[in-house]
Amino acid sequence: EAQVTQNPRYLITVTGKKLTVTCSQNMNHEYMSWYRQDPGLGLRQIYYSMNVEVTDKGDVPEGYKVSRKEKRNFPLILESPSPNQTSLYFCASRKAGTGITFFGQGTRLTVV
């Protein structure tokens, strides 16, 4: 089954404790991205990757890092999480061009 898999689905952590949210897709998509979704706001792009070893900042990259060492994986790294990073995070992937974008199930992160 074609899918984007994120882990974990739920995470509560403390300020400053490094964490990684994993994202994997099995559709051989070139393009992957991370979004955060906050109440009253549309999804906002954090980082995206056009292909392996190619990453770029989205609209709200501060406080986040990503890597794309393999085509299927695109982890999101929070080196020093802060409470304002409490949010619902989505990973997404699609083929290069304007194909359908597939979203993961989401990771609800709470930073206390």
Residues making contact with another protein (CB under 8 A)? 4, 40-45, 50, 88, 90, 92, 97-98, 100-106, 108
Nearer to another protein, 56 or 79 (CB): 56
> CA nearest 92: which of 23, 9, 41, 26?
23
CB of 85: closest distance to another protein in angstroms?
A: 18
The residues facing 34 across adjacent strands are 47, 91
CB of 9: closest distance to another protein in angstroms?
A: 9
CB of 70: closest distance to another protein in angstroms?
A: 21
Q: Where are the beta strands (DSSP E) in the chain?
A: 4-7, 10-13, 19-25, 31-37, 44-51, 54-57, 65-66, 76-78, 87-94, 102-103, 107-111
Nearer to another protein, 13 or 45 (CB): 45
Nearer to another protein, 75 or 104 (CB): 104
